[in-house]
C-alpha cells in the first residue's frame, strides 16, 4: 500500500487538503513532527472538511521515530524535491513506497534526501517557478503512483 509522509509541514490548509486526498484514495497519511500547527487547528480541520474520520493518520515524534516504523514495515522511501535527479514521470513506483514530502518553506533536509531510495522532481515548464504547492505536489505524486499501479478504480 502506498503511503504519504509529510515531514515538518507548516501550513494547516495544505495538510488538510492532503488529508482529504488521502481519505479519498484510502492512503495512509504520516505526519513527522515538529508540525507548524496544532493537529486540532481549525484551519486544518476546515481544509479536510468532514473527511477526517476517513483519514488513516499517524503522527511521529521525530524523523528517527518515523524511520523506525518505515523500516519495520518495509518499502522504499521515495522523496520529492526540486533538486530531484529523476522526473516522477520516469520513475517506476511500487505498491509499498512511502511518498515523502518536505515542509513548505524549506523542503526536505539534506540528510533525508541522502538516505532516500530515490529523489524525484516534478518538472516545471517555467524556470523561475521553484515548485508547486505542497498539497498539489502530494496529489500529483500520489496519483501518478496510483495510475502506474492500476489503483485508479
User: Helix, strand, coil shares of the chain as percentages rounded to 5?
Assistant: 40, 20, 40
Note whether 10 and 42 are within 8 A (CB): no
Q: Does the annotation list 75 as a binding residue?
A: no
| Calpha distance 147→24 (Å, rounded) | 15
For the residues of 109-135, what is the DSSP string, one character each? -HHHHHH-SEEEE---SSTT-----HH
Q: Does the annotation list 83 as a binding residue?
A: no
Q: Does the annotation list 18 as a binding residue?
A: no
| Calpha distance 65→123 (Å, rounded) | 31
HSE, CB side, 13 Å, CA atoms: give it for residue 105: 6
C-alpha cell at 112: 533525508
Note whether 108 and 83 are within 8 A (CB): no
Which residues belong to the annotated binding site for S-adenosyl-L-methionine? 102, 122, 131
Binding residues: 102, 122, 131
Amino acid at each position: 500500500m502506498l503511503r504519504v509522509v509529510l515531514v515538518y509541514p507548516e501550513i494547516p490548509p495544505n495538510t488538510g487538503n492532503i488529508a482529504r486526498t488521502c481519505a479519498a484514495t484510502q492512503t495512509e497519511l504520516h505526519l513527522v513532527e515538529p508540525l507548524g500547527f496544532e493537529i486540532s487547528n481549525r484551519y486544518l480541520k476546515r481544509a479536510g472538511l468532514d473527511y477526517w474520520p476517513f483519514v488513516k493518520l499517524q503522527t511521529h515524534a521525530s524523523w528517527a521515530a518515523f524511520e523506525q516504523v518505515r523500516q519495520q514495515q518495509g518499502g522504499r522511501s521515495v522523496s520529492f524535491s526540486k533538486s530531484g535527479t529523476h522526473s516522477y514521470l520516469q520513475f517506476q513506483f511500487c505498491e509499498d513506497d512511502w511518498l515523502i514530502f518536505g515542509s513548505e518553506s524549506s523542503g526536505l533536509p539534506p540528510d533525508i534526501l541522502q538516505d532516500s531510495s530515490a529523489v524525484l522532481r516534478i518538472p516545471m515548464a517555467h524556470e523561475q517557478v521553484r515548485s508547486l504547492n505542497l498539497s498539489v505536489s502530494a496529489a500529483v505524486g500520489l496519483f501518478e503512483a496510483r495510475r502506474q499501479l492500476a489503483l485508479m478504480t
